[in-house]
Amino acid sequence: MTRLLIADDHPAFRRGLELMLADVDDVEIVGAAETGLRAVELAEQLAPDVILMDLRMPDLDGIEATRRLSRSAPATAVVVLTMFEDDDSVFAAMRAGARGYLLKGAEQDEIARAVLAAAAGEALFGPEIARRVIAHFANGTGSTAAAFPSLTSREREVLEMVAAGKGNATIAHELMISLKTVRNHVSNIFTKLQVSGRSAAIVKARDAGLGGS
C-alpha cells in the first residue's frame, strides 16, 4: 500500500483530491498539509511514500519544501501537482528532487499513475510538461535552465553576457535597458547563484556551458 500525503493550501482542492483518490487501489491517504512547512513536519512524522505537493503555499513554498524533504525524508517521493507550467517552476522542482510534475486538472488515473510510479522510484510527468521539457532541451536551452532554474529568462540572458566577459555598460547597450536595471539583474544573479562576485558567477556560468569555454 502506497502511503500518500496531500499538500495544498486550498481546503476544497485538498478534499477533492482525497475523494478522487480514496478508491484507488494500493493508495492510502495518511494526511493533508495546508502549508509547505506543515508538509515537511508531517512527512517526518508520518513517513509517507509519496507527497502530492502544490508549489505556491504559505510559510514555505513547494520547491523549498521538496528541497528540505530530499534531506530530511529522502525515502519520501514528491510529485508536484500545480497550476504553474512555466520552465522556471518545472526545472526548479526537478532540481529540488521532485519525481513527477502534473498540472491541476489531471485525471484520476494520471495522478494515480504518477503517485505509484514515484513510490516505485520512477519519475512521471504529465503530457503537457513532458512536451515542454523535450522542447526545451531540443531548443538547446534546457541545460542552462536546469542548471539555474531560479533565474528568470532575462537574468539568464544577462548571465550569459556576463560569462562572455561583457561589462554592465555593454550589456545595458545591447539589451537596450538602463545601467541601473543591469546592476539589479546582476545583483539578483549573484544572490541566486550564491556567489560573492562577478568572477565566481562567470566560473559557474561557464561550467554550465554559458558564454563560451
Q: What is the pLDDT of residues 21-52, one digit of tens each?
A: 998 989 999 999 999 999 999 999 999 999 99
Look up residue 180 and give its three cell numbers: 541601473
Q: What is the pLDDT of residues 170-197, one digit of tens each?
A: 999 999 999 999 999 999 999 988 888 8
List of residues 6+ apart from 61 with CB closer than 8 A = 36, 55
Host H or E run for residue 30: strand 27-33
- Rounded to an integer, the average pLDDT of 58-69 is 92
Cβ atoms < 10 Å from Cβ of 53? 30
Show the domains of the chain with their CATH numbers. 2-135 (3.40.50.2300), 151-207 (1.10.10.10)
Phi, psi of 31 (to 5 degrees): 180, 170
List of residues 6+ apart from 24 with CB closer than 8 A = 108, 112
List of residues 6+ apart from 190 with CB closer than 8 A = 196, 197, 201
Beta strands across the sheet bearing 27-33:
27-33, 2-7, 50-53, 77-82, 100-103, 124-125
Look up residue 190 and give its three cell numbers: 549573484
Q: pTM surpassing 0.75? A: no
List of residues 6+ apart from 102 with CB closer than 8 A = 79, 80, 81, 82, 110, 111, 114, 125, 126, 129
